[in-house]
Amino acid sequence: MDSLQENLAGEYPLVAVVDDDESVRESLPDLLREFGFATHCFSSAEEFLTSDSLVQTGCLILDIAMPGMTGFDLQRELKLRGHSIPIIFISAHKDEVVRRRAFQQGAVEFLFKPFSDTALLQALNTALRVR
Amino acid sequence: MDGQLDTRLRVNTLRGGEKVAEPAESKKDVPLESSIPGTVPLESLLLTEELCRRPSRPPQYEKENRALVALASALADSPRTILQTLAETILEVTQSDSSGVSLLTPDGKRFYWPALAGRWTPHIGGGTPRDFGPCGDVLDRNMALLMRHWEWRYTYFSPISPPVEEGLLLPFYVEGKAVGTIWVVMHETHRKFDAEDKRLLTGLGKFASTAYQTLASIDELRLQISEREKAEVAVRELANGLETQVRVRTQELERSTRDLLDTNKELGREIAERKRAEQELRRSEAFLTEGQRLSRVGSFSWRVETGEITWSEELYRIFELNRDGRVTLELIGSRVHPEDIPLLNDMIARARGTGSDFEYEHRLLMPNHSVKYLHLVGHGRRDRHGQLVYIGAAQDVTEHRLSEETLGKARAELAHMARITSLGALTASIAHEVNQPLSGIVTNASTCLRMLTLDPPNVDGARETARRTIRDGNRASDVITRLRALFSKKHTVAEQVDLNDATREVIALSLSELQRNRVILRCELADDLPLVTGDRVQLQQVILNFLRNGSDAMNSVHDRPRELLIRTEQDKGDRALLSVKDAGIGFDPQSMDKLFQAFYTTKNDGMGIGLSVSRSIIEQHGGRLWATLNDGPGATFAFSVPGAANT
């Protein structure tokens, strides 16, 4: 399975994680690396927007509720700037209304925290296939 | 003299005193022609029912007690001026502009004013007709009346300046018969009378009755003493005459003997007079006792060096002890609640040490296991021999305390309900708080498993992820602990609370909710903040309420940052002050009063319990809570509570 991502993308795709929660930023990259992805973490949407990784990012794992720019704000901003990065939203707030809205605005997948490794892997596969 | 005294006679003798002002000739009542019932009916002036509707000031039992003690000692020291002292006391405790005592004249046709205080003082000695005036109305209706601008009806008041904005009058009685009124008047609109003023006046009215009877008794006593002195002079003159007669006219011995017999008769009469005087003294003591029984105030004296303690009858009744035994500190100790013995010891030690005034409240445990609350005020002074003597009063405040306890329980129930209500609103952020660390745990554990199933296993990586799993587990556990503390406790617990810590915990719990509402929270916590004594959870309820209100008030704000500033600072007199300033829609200053009423809300989904419960929590902590509009947009809610050193 580890080679699947390589085959689909032709290279090791960069998965960016944007979440203000530190335990997510610490734990998720290790798992993603175990899956075989290169990762880069950001604690805010603003930080991600100003980083070099923006153009290389193959998939974005994005938290909804953050101080300052929220996940939705970032999604809109990326669309405005013409970036079509597939987005997997993650949220600790179990709200179906928010989830539906995310899909309407073009999210690939929406995971409620805590999520399993297989759910994440499936979401990543979907996202990279979209790409 | 038998028990049925003629009230008129008493008033007569009362008016015969030196300092009680008589109706002065120059200040006669206005002629009756001007007091013909005019166009303004009495009903249009009466506001009595307003008393119950107006927000009442909290009862100030300490102040009232001190006033009663001062009055009791004034009655003992200078009874002649007691009515004036009473008027001044009424003025002070009710904070009114003018106050006074009105007494019916012996013929029952008029009221005159023996004592006035405040702005109407120059009118001492004036008066009103019995059948057409505010005092008469009070007697006719036999109840307390609140009246505005009575000069509109009783036009003879017009020359009396300043005019009445509103006045509160109460009848007082002697042996079931109304003999006068006590009253207070406001000349301006800055303060209105409320139910607390009526309560205060009712207490003082009982005292007025006691004072009136005491004065009357003293006057009669004085009359009798002067009678006795006259009799003694007569005896002396007779005796002188007798000597002369014995020396000069032995032949008139027989006649002289008859005179002697007369003298004996005179002496017999004198003894009868004296007996009557003693009886009167006992009566006046009885009046005082009755006054004490009514107000449940007992008085005492305590000679510290000799340990000699004297109690009034009421104190024996309060302690449920027989009058036979000698009162000692040990005897008192046997009735004091075991948990309050340290208080008693502290009081005794302080009294012996400093001789300063004291004020205590402690409980008594009765043989039938019932508990009484006793409020004690003592005033220490040195007698002629330099010995320390305490004179004081003790009031049985059990009823007040019990009703306060009931109130406290109701308040706790309400606070608990408010807590549960906010639980619903908080559920979302609770889930968020718990899911964050759970997410870390699941991800770390997944990674850990994957690392261990590699060939060869990545043991170092697995160890690191396992360590993070544990740390996130602890984080989740902390969140649960904070929530348990916030929602489980029901009864008030007094402990030393660091408001800064308490604030940080509340912020930790509500941060994600605030962030979801795009609120930028700034925090300025003072380092030198004094500790406070109280219920940590209840205080946190108030802080949480402030934060949620502030956040909600900014929901509709889109044109400026939704800034919330929470600060703590040291307030005057070693108090701790906490404020939350928002940039929201503020509130209507007109509805400021309503802001703190239960079930008043400006929010669509609010219950309107938060602020009223918050205020009662803060008041229970001896503090106060208020709201102000900012110079810029929004409002600031704040409370200030005494530091632990003060409570």
CA distance B537 to chain A (A): 26
Whether the CB of A1 is below 8 Å from some CB of chain B: the reply is: no
With a CB cutoff of 8 Å and minimum separation 6, the contacts of B549 are B580, B582, B610, B611, B637
The CATH number that applies at residue B324 is 3.30.450.20
The answer to whether the CB atoms of B435 and A27 lie below 8 A apart is no
Best mutation site among A25, A113, A118, A122 for testing chain B: the one with the most B CBs within 10 Å? A113
Provide, as residue numbers in chain A, all residues whose Cβ is less than 8 Å from the Cβ of B436.
Answer: 21, 23-24, 92, 113
Q: Where among B378, B396, B414 does a domain terminate?
A: B396
Best mutation site among B426, B434, B436, B444 for testing chain A: the one with the most A CBs within 10 Å? B436
Q: Where among B396, B413, B431 does a domain terminate?
A: B396
Domain identity same for B130 and B20: yes
Inform me whether the pLDDT recorded for B12 exceeds 60.
no
Among B437, B447, B451, beta carbon nearest to A23: B437
Choose the most confident range, by mean pLDDT, from B71-80, B322-331, B436-445: B436-445
- CB of A125 closer than 8 Å to CB of A107: no
Coil, strand or helix at B458 = coil
pLDDT at B494 (0 to 100): 76
Domain identity same for B190 and B41: yes
The answer to whether the CB atoms of B436 and A30 lie below 8 A apart is no
Q: Which residue of A has its CA nearest to B447?
A: A31
Best mutation site among A93, A112, A122 for testing chain B: the one with the most B CBs within 10 Å? A93
When the pLDDT of each residue in chain B is averaged and rounded to a whole number, the result is: 80
CB count within 10 Å of CB B352 equals 11
Residue B358 lies in a domain: yes
Provide, as residue numbers in chain A, all residues whose Cβ is less than 8 Å from the Cβ of B471.
Answer: 23
Q: Which residue has the tokens 């699941």?
A: B442
pLDDT at A125 (0 to 100): 92
Coil, strand or helix at B167 = strand
Q: Which residue of B has its CA nearest to A21?
A: B436
CB pairs under 8 A between A and B: 81
With a CB cutoff of 8 Å and minimum separation 6, the contacts of B404 are none
Domain identity same for B11 and B22: yes
- Bridge partners (DSSP) listed for residue B504: none
Q: Where among B268, B293, B318 does a domain terminate?
A: B293
Residue B2 lies in a domain: no
Q: In what order do the strands lie in the sheet with B388-396?
A: B308-311, B297-303, B388-396, B371-382, B358-365
What domain count does chain B have?
Answer: 5
Domain identity same for B214 and B243: no
Gap between the Cα atoms of B50 and B195, Å rounded: 9
Residue B312 lies in a domain: yes
Coil, strand or helix at B535 = coil
Name residues 85-124 of chain A within 8 A of B (Cβ). 90, 92-95, 112-117
Whether the CB of A82 is below 8 Å from some CB of chain B: the reply is: no
The answer to whether the CB atoms of B443 and A21 lie below 8 A apart is no
- Bridge partners (DSSP) listed for residue A38: A14
Band (pLDDT 50/70/90 cuts) for residue B593 is: low
Provide, as residue numbers in chain B, all residues whose Cβ is less than 8 Å from the Cβ of A116.
Answer: 442, 446
Residue-wise pLDDT tens digits, B595-630? 665 445 555 444 445 777 788 788 888 899 999 999
Q: Which residue of B has its CA nearest to A95?
A: B428
Distances (CA, A) of B280 to B2, B77, B207, B283: 10, 19, 19, 5
Domain that holds residue B479: 402-490
Distances (CA, A) of B231 to B262, B269, B271, B386: 12, 9, 10, 40
Domain identity same for B282 and B261: yes
Whether the CB of A45 is below 8 Å from some CB of chain B: the reply is: no
Q: Which domains does chain A have, with CATH numbers?
A: 4-120 (3.40.50.2300)
Gap between the Cα atoms of B617 and B9, Å rounded: 56
User: What does pTM read for this prediction?
Assistant: 0.37
The answer to whether the CB atoms of B443 and A92 lie below 8 A apart is no
Residues B35-42, mean pLDDT to the nearest whole number: 65
Domain identity same for B170 and B250: no
Domain identity same for B372 and B501: no
Residues B205-218, mean pLDDT to the nearest whole number: 78
Residue-wise pLDDT tens digits, B387-425? 888 888 888 888 888 877 776 666 666 666 665 655 555
The answer to whether the CB atoms of A93 and B450 lie below 8 A apart is no
Domain identity same for B48 and B167: yes
Band (pLDDT 50/70/90 cuts) for residue B25 is: very low
Provide, as residue numbers in chain A, all residues whose Cβ is less than 8 Å from the Cβ of B437.
Answer: 23
Residue-wise pLDDT tens digits, A54-100? 888 999 999 998 877 889 999 999 999 998 899 999 998 878 888 99
pLDDT at B636 (0 to 100): 94
Choose the most confident range, by mean pLDDT, from A42-51, B317-326, B530-539: A42-51
Provide, as residue numbers in chain B, all residues whose Cβ is less than 8 Å from the Cβ of A95.
Answer: 428
Whether the CB of B468 is below 8 Å from some CB of chain A: the reply is: yes
CA distance A82 to chain B (A): 26
Burial grade of B47 (CB within 10 A; 0-12, 13-18, 19 or more): middle
Gap between the Cα atoms of B291 and B207, Å rounded: 7
Residue-wise pLDDT tens digits, B481-535? 766 666 655 556 678 899 999 999 888 877 777 877 788 899 999 998 999 988 8
Gap between the Cα atoms of B511 and B505, Å rounded: 10
Residue-wise pLDDT tens digits, B349-364? 888 887 788 888 889 9
- Phi and psi torsions of B60, nearest 5°: -115, 80
The answer to whether the CB atoms of A114 and B447 lie below 8 A apart is no
Whether the CB of B523 is below 8 Å from some CB of chain A: the reply is: no
Domain identity same for B334 and B365: yes
Range with the poorest average pLDDT among B49-53, B361-365, B430-434 = B430-434
Residue B474 lies in a domain: yes
